Amino acid sequence: MSGLVAHVRHLPGPGRPRPSRVLRAGLVLALLQLGGCASLLPSGESATASPWERFDQAKQAFDQIEPFETGTERLTELGFDPEGNPNVNRLSYSDILTRFAGSPVIRPSQLDPGIRRCIAGYDACEAFELQHESIDRERYGNFWADFFNFRRKTRITGWRFNAVIMTHDGTVVFKQWSGEPQIKEYDDQTYPLGPLQGIGPAVAREAR
């Protein structure tokens, strides 16, 4: 009988909430406090393997390349090695013609001297394109609006650097660069139906 009484004493009285209810209430309160906590929003990074960590490092290395002077060994030292550098696109002879000599409004005499030598050299000509980028994507704004897919705001930052290099008999004859030193973009997507936004199309596809 005493054991039964001891057991009954541990049961919650009519005015006391059950432990499970207390736990749920505490969890709800904790989640409500996260309403403006942007640090819980997801973030991501996409980057190509590169010998440079910043745009200015890539540009400084590129500026040291001298057409008709820099050899392939020096290119390797500067990080522009088509064999060991990832994300390199080798250009075929037809690619070179299409990209640099394919315009009918440009006469051969108007082409860069390095391009003319490369085209004339044919088998002795090699060209490659390097594409490097480092992009960070960070979601910001209201946690619950993002969590329930009502509004998602993304901050995009980073850099891109592309370079085209032509060599003839092991010596650089032409170089060209392009890119974005500082990428700063904002993407703001609003979904009035929140988590229900994509249900209609999904149901339509299932009904087919």
* Domain boundaries defined on the chain: 43-207
Report the greatest alpha carbon distance in the chain: 110
| Phi, psi angle pair for 16, to nearest 5° | -105, 135
Helices (H) and strands (E) in the chain, counts: 8, 5
- The pLDDT tens digits of the residues spanning 166-203 come to 999 999 999 999 999 998 988 888 888 777 776 655 55
d(CA 111, CA 1): 105
Greater model confidence, 207 or 150: 150
Alpha-carbon distances of 93 from 12, 115, 124, rounded to whole Å: 84, 11, 11
Q: Above 60 in pLDDT, residue 116?
A: yes
pLDDT at 178: 95
